[in-house]
Amino acid sequence: MRHRNFFAMIVMIVAMTACADNQAISDYNPVARPYLPVDISVQTDNGGSLQQLPVSANSAHYRAYVPAMPNERYKLRVTNNSRQRVGVVIAVDGRNIISGQQSWLRNNERMYILDPYSSAEYEGWRTGANQVNRFYFTEAGNSYAAAWGDTSALGVIAMAVYAERPRPEIYDSMPGKAEGAAADSAGMARQAAPGTGFGETTYSPSETVNFDPLPEPIEKAFLKYEWRETLCAKRILPDCRSGSEGTGDNRFWPNSSGYALPPPRR
């Protein structure tokens, strides 16, 4: 009888452990993607937008997972669905994509400007007024951020949207191309993790415009890109259900030119 009781206790403990493990790896709860006043998507050179798996339905503080493929070139498409001109501070792996400096998504960082109901695509780190170096998914150790010794926000594409401070209308604004306009405003990670590399140089013209942002952003969006295998292990992708979630700290989940410098040699 005691043996039976002992066996029953073991079965109960195993069952409880299995339930606990199941709970640990089933933390992801799918939510509907909210409408974003300023939308952001990841477009690959192979065509189409990468799937977004939202973890937040808050349009003012949107978060989602995105599957990444090694060595795939990508660009960010941002669409302003609002009736006002906005400035967007974009950081990839925690680095401002215009200046290359560590970003905290603040309104005094360099930002791109979008006219009402307009869209723009940003395909790399801006290394000059007319060129960028392409974004591509790579191992963490090969990423642009890691080359600067900054692994605090690897694997995160972050965007903060700032409305423009109202200004008196003295004369009509000069016509110009808002898309792509760049404005000036007042420990190594695990090798298995993804990061964004500093790819080949490509032509990408821009112009500097005046923009006075309000102090607080009207929207923030965070896209956490992971290898497909990792998203399967985290039980986030709907077509795979196994494994467990990894851990790691991530603060997002002197340069005279004002543009991103090439990564330092190692």
| Residue-wise DSSP of 135-195 | EEEEEGGGSHHHHTT--TTTTEEEEEEEEBPP----SPPPP---TTEEE----PPPTTSEE
Report DSSP state, residue 140: G
Q: Is residue 109 part of a domain?
A: yes
Range of the domain at 191: 2-165+176-233
pLDDT score, position 189: 41
Q: Is residue 258 part of a domain?
A: no
pLDDT (tens, 9 = 90+) of the chain, 266 residues, equals 555 554 444 434 333 444 434 433 446 778 999 999 999 999 999 878 999 999 999 999 999 999 999 999 999 999 999 999 999 999 999 999 999 999 999 999 999 999 999 999 999 999 999 999 999 999 999 999 999 999 999 999 999 999 999 976 655 444 444 345 555 443 444 456 899 999 999 999 999 999 999 999 999 999 999 998 889 888 888 777 544 444 456 777 644 456 676 777 65
pLDDT score, position 18: 40
Domain count of the chain?
1
Q: Token pair for residue 39?
A: 């939308």
156 vs 252: CA distance, rounded Å: 7
Q: Is residue 209 part of a domain?
A: yes
Report DSSP state, residue 231: H
Q: What is the pTM of this model?
A: 0.76
Q: Is residue 255 part of a domain?
A: no
Q: Is residue 132 part of a domain?
A: yes
Q: Token pair for residue 20?
A: 């606990």
Q: Is residue 160 part of a domain?
A: yes
Q: Is residue 63 part of a domain?
A: yes
pLDDT score, position 178: 39
pLDDT score, position 169: 62
